[in-house]
Structures are given as structure tokens and as C-alpha cells.
Amino acid sequence: MAQKLIIDTDPGVDDAFAIALAALSSDVDLLGVTTVHGNVPLSATTINARRILALCKRADVPVAAGAPRPLVHRSPHEAGEVHGSDGLSGRSAALPEPSRPLDERDAVTLLAELLEASDTPVTIAPIGPLTNIAALLAAHPAAAAKIDRIVIMGGALGHGNTTAAAEFNIWSDPEAAQRVLTGGDAPCVLVPMDLTYRCAVDAAWLDELDASGPIGAALHALTPDYRTHYRGALGWDGMVVHDAVAVAEAIRPGTLRTERVPVQVECSFGPGRGATLADRRLPALRAATDGAAPASEVDVAVDTDLAALRALLLDRLR
């Protein structure tokens, strides 16, 4: 049975790899793609998502635009310095133009209608800020019953990337992340940057992707600005395909090893804003101090077979 999947995304170079991974996987039923503010403004993330699906020849997949800004507080900045001014290293316009028009529904409506129409539970893979997902859960509480899992790229157990404490997706809308991660609406998997950094791909992997065929070459062509950023962030010539790691788990459950713990999001305006605080104390100690009803737990991804993951990505993206 094909894995039913909806991706919520802010393309974004690693988002492009993640969307292609799902779009090119025959064991995935990609029901739809919804877009959100994040790496670049919503208008750019939306055309980028549509062009990536056009590259993968998936005009059957609807794309609906969602939130242009965070739920409560505006985000101080986007990530154009990481992904390039258009979100795809300045190469978005080199991608095929979409033949399918933008869906006239907004993202939350498309998500709710796809969930309602599905006869089996659907996995949602948010790989950008969680604004659309928080809005969906708030506006359509009944829809949660049709969600199999919410597999999120975001958060950091150790240091962040956007700040010392916070990873970009969570930092971009901490209030939305707190709603999704603590609401207990549906089972959540959180794929933090601690693990996605360990899954970084090297120059040889990227060269193999480039030589693998027209789609691989087109994806490779999106990487220059992103690769420059990660050459500095990693200290060697590679890049971190954060979102593809999360989508690999979404399409092949069990790819990542997880620990089930409560996660809270720091929503104050101090230096820790956007931090994801995983409570990894033993349950007995937690219970002794928590007293009140235990906090909702999420499955935090902590490990994987790195070589097998990189091979899966390359195999699917060829």
C-alpha cells in the first residue's frame, strides 16, 4: 500500500531534494504540497514548489499556498543568505514552468480536504515553519483523526543554526511549533538538526547525483549557494539535506531511530527563543517533579544508518 503523504514546505534547496524524493518514489502517494513562509517569502516558496514538481513531471499533485508570516510575531529574517535570493541558488527560473495552476484553495483548506477525503490515515511532513500545521490543528480539530503521523524537520537538541539555541524552522514560528509539538493532536516525529547534520552528503555524492540523469543534474544545479553556506557551516565540501532526511522517515517509517520524550518550545524573547527543550530525564524523575498531567511526548530522531540513508536518497533521486 503506497504511503499517503502531504508535504508542507518552504523551498529551499533541501526542500527541493525532499519534494523530489517523495515525487519520484513509486511507493509514495503524494496527495498534495502546501507552501509556507520561511527560507524566502511565500510567493517564492510557492513557485519553487510548483517548479520542482514540474521538474519531476508530477502535474497530478496540487500545490496550495499557506501562511505568508508566522502566527503571532513576525520573523526577524528569512534565510536567503543560505538558499539564495530566490530560494534555489538563483536557479529557480531555470526549472520547468508548472503546467498545473496554483490550487485556488489555501493550504489549510487543501490539507483539511485531503485528510477528510482519504480513506486511510495520511502522513504530513512539515519541512518549514509550522504555521500552516498549527492553523490546521486549530481550525480543523477533527482532521487530526485522519493524520497517521506528523514528521517534522526541525529543532535542535544541542546548539541551533539560526541562533545559538534555535533551529530555523522552529525559530521562524515558535508559537506554532509549541502548538504542534505539545498539543497531542497526532503522533509527531521531530527530526532535529543534530541528526540531519550527521547525514550531510559529500562532493562525491553530489557528483554522482549530477551524473545520474536529467533530474539529478537539475537538482545539483540548485545547490551552489547552499553548498557555499555549508562549506562554511560544516568546515568541509558537503551540504546538509535536512528536509530529505525527514521525508525519508515519512516515506519509510523506521528509517530513523527515535526516543519518545516531551518537547517544549521556548517562546520568550530572550536569547533562547525558538529552542526545543527535550525532556530526556527518566520518566520516574519527570513524574516526581511534573506532578500534573504528563506533557505530550514526541518521537525525536536521534540516529540512523548514515550510509543506507545516503544510498536511499541517491537511489530515489536518480
Residues that bind Ca ion (CB under 5 A): 10, 12, 15, 127-128, 243
> Within positions 57 to 96, which residues make up the interface with ligand RIB, using CB under 6 A?
79
The one among 32, 48, 114, 168 contacting ligand RIB by CB under 6 A: 168
The one among 4, 7, 8, 10 contacting ligand RIB by CB under 6 A: 10
Which of the choices ligand RIB, Ca ion, none does residue 148 contact, using the CB cut-off of 5 to 8 A by kind?
none
Size of interface with ligand RIB, in residues (CB under 6 A): 17
Looking from the CA of 277 toward its CB, the CA atoms found within 13 Å total 12
- Residue 235 buriedness (CB in 10 A; 0-12 / 13-18 / 19+): exposed
Instruction: Specify the DSSP class assigned to residue 27.
Output: T
Nearer to ligand RIB, 103 or 243 (CB): 243
**Contact present, 300 and 192 (Cβ < 8 Å):** yes
**Contact present, 157 and 195 (Cβ < 8 Å):** no
Catalytic, 242? Answer: yes
Nearer to ligand RIB, 38 or 98 (CB): 38
> Within positions 175 to 214, which residues make up the interface with ligand RIB, using CB under 6 A?
193
- For the residues of 144-190, what is the DSSP string, one character each? GGGEEEEEEE---SS--SSSSS--HHHHH-HHHHHHHHHS-SS-EEE
Contact between 40 and ligand RIB by CB under 6 A: the answer reads no
Which of the choices ligand RIB, Ca ion, none does residue 302 contact, using the CB cut-off of 5 to 8 A by kind?
none
Which of the choices ligand RIB, Ca ion, none does residue 173 contact, using the CB cut-off of 5 to 8 A by kind?
none
DSSP E strand boundaries for 198-296? 201-202, 238-239, 256-265, 276-278
Query: Who contacts 54 (Cβ-Cβ below 8 Å, separation ≥6)?
Result: 95, 96, 97, 98, 99, 100
Nearer to ligand RIB, 18 or 261 (CB): 18
Q: Which residue is nearest to ligand RIB (CB)?
A: 168
- Nearest CA to 300 out of 254, 257, 243, 267 is that of 257
- Nearest CA to 121 out of 160, 151, 93 is that of 151
Candidate segments 112-120, 164-172, 178-186, 258-266, binder of ligand RIB by CB under 6 A: 164-172
Distances (CA, A) of 38 to 32, 96, 189: 19, 23, 20
Contact between 128 and ligand RIB by CB under 6 A: the answer reads yes
Candidate segments 160-168, 264-272, 284-292, 307-315, binder of ligand RIB by CB under 6 A: 160-168
Binding positions for ligand RIB, rule: CB under 6 A? 10, 12, 14-15, 38-39, 79, 127-128, 153, 161, 167-169, 193, 242-243
- Residues classed as catalytic: 242
